[in-house]
C-alpha cells in the first residue's frame, strides 16, 4: 500500500469528533513545525528521501506524505504522491506567494499567521496577498435582472409584477 493511500485511509477511518480532534491536534502541530523550519531558513526547496525528511521533522512517513499533500498545490511542479514510498527521493520547490495564498484558502490561520512569514515577506506584501485572495472570492452577478425587464420565469410579465414582488 502506498503512503498516500495509507494517509487517505487514515483520514477516512476517523469516525468520531474526538478521533478527529486528536488526529489533527497531533498532525497540525507537526505540520506547523515543518513550515516554521522552511520559512525560518528561507529555503523553498524540500529535498531528500521521504523517511529522512519525516524523521528530521519528527513525523512518520505517512504524516510527511500528508504534509506534502497539503503543500502540493504550492510547489512549482506537482508531486505524484501516489508513487512515493519511504525510500523515494524528492526535490520540490515551494512558491512562497502561492503557499501563503493557499494557506488563506484553507483557512489555516495557525499557518498564515506564523511569525516566520516575516522572514519571507514584509507586512505590506502579506496584506496585499490577503487582499488579493479576498478579492478573488467576491462573486459578482453580472446577469442582474432589472425591475422592468421581462421575468425570467417565462410568464411574460415584468419582473417587478411577477417574481420580483
Please tell me the pTM assigned to this model.
0.80
Average pLDDT of every residue of the chain: 93
In this predicted model, what pLDDT tens digit does every residue of 16-25 receive, in sequence order?
Answer: 999 999 998 9
Structural domain of residue 39, as residue ranges?
3-121
Q: In this structure, is residue 36 part of a structural domain?
A: yes
Q: In this structure, is residue 155 part of a structural domain?
A: no
In this predicted model, what pLDDT tens digit does every residue of 31-53 receive, in sequence order?
Answer: 999 999 999 999 999 999 999 99
Distance linking the first and last C-alpha atoms of the chain: 59
Q: In this structure, is residue 84 part of a structural domain?
A: yes
User: Is pLDDT above 80 for 1?
Assistant: no
In 50-131, the DSSP E strands lie at 89-93
Q: In this structure, is residue 49 part of a structural domain?
A: yes
Q: In this structure, is residue 165 part of a structural domain?
A: no
Side-chain half-sphere CA neighbours of 26 within 13 A: 11
**What total number of domains does the chain contain?**
1
- The 10 Å Cβ neighbour count of residue 7 is 21
Q: Quick one: pLDDT band at residue 113, thresholds 50, 70, 90?
A: very high
Q: How far apart are CA 159 and CA 86, in angstroms?
A: 63
Q: In this structure, is residue 88 part of a structural domain?
A: yes
Grid coordinates given for 15: 469516525
Q: Which residues, 6 or more positions from 79, have their beta carbon under 8 angstroms from its beta carbon?
A: 68, 72, 90, 92
Q: In this structure, is residue 163 part of a structural domain?
A: no
Taking the C-alpha atoms of 37, 42, 47 and 53 in order, what is their torsion angle to the nearest 10 degrees? -10
Q: In this structure, is residue 61 part of a structural domain?
A: yes
Amino acid at each position: 500500500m502506498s503512503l498516500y493511500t495509507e494517509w487517505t485511509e487514515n483520514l477516512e477511518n476517523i469516525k468520531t469528533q474526538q478521533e478527529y480532534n486528536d488526529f489533527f491536534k497531533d498532525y497540525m502541530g507537526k505540520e506547523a513545525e515543518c513550515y516554521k523550519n522552511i520559512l525560518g531558513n528561507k529555503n523553498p526547496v524540500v529535498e531528500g528521501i521521504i523517511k529522512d525528511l519525516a524523521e528530521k521533522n519528527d513525523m512518520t512517513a505517512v504524516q510527511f506524505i500528508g504534509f506534502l499533500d497539503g503543500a502540493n498545490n504550492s510547489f512549482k511542479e506537482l508531486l505524484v504522491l501516489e508513487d512515493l514510498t519511504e525510500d523515494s527521493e524528492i526535490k520540490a520547490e515551494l512558491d512562497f506567494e502561492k503557499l501563503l495564498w493557499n494557506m488563506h484558502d484553507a483557512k489555516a490561520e495557525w499557518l498564515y499567521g506564523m511569525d516566520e512569514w516575516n522572514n519571507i515577506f514584509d507586512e505590506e506584501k502579506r496584506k496585499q496577498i490577503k487582499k488579493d485572495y479576498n478579492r478573488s472570492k467576491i462573486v459578482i452577478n453580472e446577469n442582474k435582472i432589472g425591475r422592468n425587464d421581462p421575468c425570467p420565469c417565462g410568464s411574460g410579465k415584468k419582473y417587478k409584477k411577477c417574481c420580483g414582488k
